[in-house]
Amino acid sequence: MLKSKYLNRVFDDLKNRHASEPEFLQAVEEFFESMEVIVERDPSIERYAIMERIVVPERVIKFRVSWTNDAGEIKVNTGYRIQHNSAIGPYKGGIRFVSNVNESVLKFLGFEQTFKNSLTGLPLGGGKGGADFDPRGKSDNEIQRFCQSYMAELYRHLGPDTDVPAGDIGVGAREIGYMFGMYKKLTNEFTGVLTGKGLSYGGSLGRREATGYGLCYFVEEMLTAYRKDNFEGKRIIISGAGKVGKHAAIKAVELGAKIVALSDINGYIHDENGLDMKVVDEIAGETGEYTLKYLERFPKAKFVSGPKNMWKVPCDIALPCATQNEIDLDDAKVMVANGVYLVAEGANMPTSLDATHYFINNGVLFAPGKAANAGGVSVSGLEMAQNATHVSWSFEEVDKMLKEIMKNIFKQAYDTAKQLDKETNLVLGANIAGFQRIYRAMVDQGVI
């Protein structure tokens, strides 16, 4: 129950209208908990109906995607694009192809993306898209036909100054390439309308590693500010077999940590002496599974089925990088009892609200995804800049700029929390810092 009458009224109305959208409501509730600190101090937020407007997407696009599989059968999926908020720039956010994609999930992601993008300091609004299509088990030709059909509808809503999607779960370089090719054919334009592109046609060095590396750069700032410490010797557990978790693990090892457990869809591998990340990188590929393959090379490593069991492994730092709500309250209690002192989200809200509260109330340093997970969109913004100026930057240049952006995001969240006498509450700091920039832009642009 929120204390603010204004926020309660807005949230109750939202719940009545969107009762079947739990993921979206969870994101709004987490955000509103932080907003209570400032809405009573600033009556203009209510006067300008900022909260009523900021929770409603500017545009929800929903469409049929028809395609033909290799057997000649016609298949039909549902495609979406949530253009959530463009107050500070064109819509920016990934495209997700997973069977459980629906409007609630994408509205939640688009809402979170809005504040994440604001924190980067780049001129990017928030959006998200996808389809209830699962690329797993499909041939390259089937994926190509689906991507082309998806883009045949979506292209009319995109543009380098309108909406610039990227990849997400189920959408990697292959899918981006197929969609970009179709966009180029339909518009007769070669513009930077998608990010995460291949290096041969406008992609940026460092984009593949950006979210995982950025997560570690953010954690590095946390360790320095709160503990006068660094990664050296820290025991880390990481969830997720995609590029975020893998590259976070690689960077953490490079900074001196040891990865004691990693999970994928099958379960997790555990080695108290530290996993060999060179081998994991070699056998995993971009989104591949690695736990069972790793055991073939290192039979002494321990394998436990069921990825959720990994949160029982004692560690210093936990980096959830898989999907939303993978850590619940029971997991959080076990993790705290086992000595975890820092949790940083490498995915979009992988920690439930109850678990987040438990971590914060028990002195665990906690970094929300909208801050710690912002490395990917930051380098997407840098890719857009390179496309617009027709230049390419080196990996070292991009990585240096990424590190600086992540340091600045931490500083914004930390300074804002400190001003409110909540120095360790980065959820509060990130939400308010991200909101303030959008709020000012919405007021300046009038009621639209």
Could you give the residue numbers annotated as active site?
Answer: 128
267 φ, ψ to 5°? Answer: 165, -145
- Report the C-alpha gap between 29 and 50 in whole angstroms: 15
Using alpha carbons, list the distances in angstroms from residue 376 to 32, 139, 177, 243, 369.
25, 27, 18, 11, 11
- Report the C-alpha gap between 334 and 313 in whole angstroms: 9
DSSP letters spanning 59-80: EEEEEEEEEE-TTS-EEEEEEE
**Which residues fall within 8 angstroms of residue 56, CB to CB, at 6 or more apart?**
none
**Which residues fall within 8 angstroms of residue 35, CB to CB, at 6 or more apart?**
4, 7, 45, 51, 431, 432, 435
Whole-number CA gyration radius for the chain: 21
Element (H, E) at 411: helix 395-419
Which residue, among 55, 53, 59, has the nearest Cα to 129 in the 3D structure? 59
Q: Helix, strand, or coil here: 163?
A: strand
- CB 98, CB 170: distance < 8 Å: yes
Q: Can you read off the two tokens belonging to residue 127? A: 């959006």
- Encoded amino acid at 240, one letter: G
Number of Cβ within a 10 Å radius of residue 12: 11
Q: Find residue 367's DSSP bridge partners.
A: 344
Q: Give pairs for 5-12: CB < 8 Å, separation 24+.
A: 6/39, 6/45, 6/46, 6/51, 7/32, 7/35, 7/36, 7/39, 7/51, 10/51, 10/52, 10/55
Using alpha carbons, list the distances in angstroms from residue 6 to 43, 50, 52.
10, 11, 10
